[in-house]
């Protein structure tokens, strides 16, 4: 069953560091409450890693995402940022977490995006609408980082991971002519 509808919303509120301490500079991952609506399907994740979600959603602007074959689009955690050599999409950061979260498939069609929840729930939306929602979500997370103290990635196992994450985040904005 395929529905051609124009309903996709992803939003975030209550963005915070894991310990809710505004003075924390060592938590590299922002957390928050994610609301998702795809067609008539709604769900939420109360303490998702929204920084990883922002980056994962931005990745889907250039490529497909197959549910449950890679990281969830709305992950519970993303506790390890790893730099990597650029792949064919220019991606330079891998994020490791746990298997919990919310996931769905994102497939690119000519001028639209097909969102697949399962074989009975497929929704097609215009690409421009999808892109607008993705950047709106990412902008809220970006504003949280910009309004907090700079991140301290001096822990040995984190060196390079935060830099790769931040550079890839900026790269996706530049690729789509959005201001970071």
C-alpha span between 155 and 160 (Å, rounded): 10
pTM of the model: 0.93
First to last CA, the chain: 39
Check residue 157 and give its pLDDT: 65
Is the Cβ–Cβ distance between 56 and 65 less than 8 Å? yes
Residues 41-67, mean pLDDT to the nearest whole number: 96
Is the Cβ–Cβ distance between 141 and 166 less than 8 Å? no
Q: Which residues contact 110 (CB under 8 A, 6 or more apart)?
A: none
Check residue 119 and give its pLDDT: 73
- For the stretch 124-145, pLDDT in tens is 999 999 999 999 999 999 999 9
Q: Which two tokens stand for residue 10?
A: 């992803």
Question: How many other CB atoms are found less than 10 A from the CB of residue 98?
Answer: 13
Question: How many other CB atoms are found less than 10 A from the CB of residue 168?
Answer: 23
């Amino acid at each position: 069953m395929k529905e051609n509808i124009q309903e996709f919303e992803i939003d975030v509120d209550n963005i915070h560091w894991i310990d809710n301490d505004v003075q924390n500079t060592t938590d590299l991952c922002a957390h928050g409450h994610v609301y998702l609506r795809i067609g008539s399907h709604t769900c939420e994740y109360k303490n998702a890693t929204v920084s990883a979600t922002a980056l994962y959603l931005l990745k889907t602007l250039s490529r497909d995402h197959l549910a449950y074959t890679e990281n969830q689009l709305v992950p519970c955690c993303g506790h390890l940022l790893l730099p990597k050599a650029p792949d064919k999409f220019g991606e330079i950061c891998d994020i490791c977490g746990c298997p919990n979260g919310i996931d769905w498939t994102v497939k690119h069609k000519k001028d639209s995006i097909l969102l697949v929840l399962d074989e009975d729930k497929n929704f097609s939306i215009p690409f421009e609408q999808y892109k607008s929602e993705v950047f709106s979500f990412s902008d809220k997370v970006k504003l949280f980082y910009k309004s907090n103290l700079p991140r301290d990635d001096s822990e040995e196992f984190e060196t390079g991971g935060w830099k790769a994450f931040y550079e890839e985040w900026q790269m996706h904005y530049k690729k789509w002519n959005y201001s970071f």
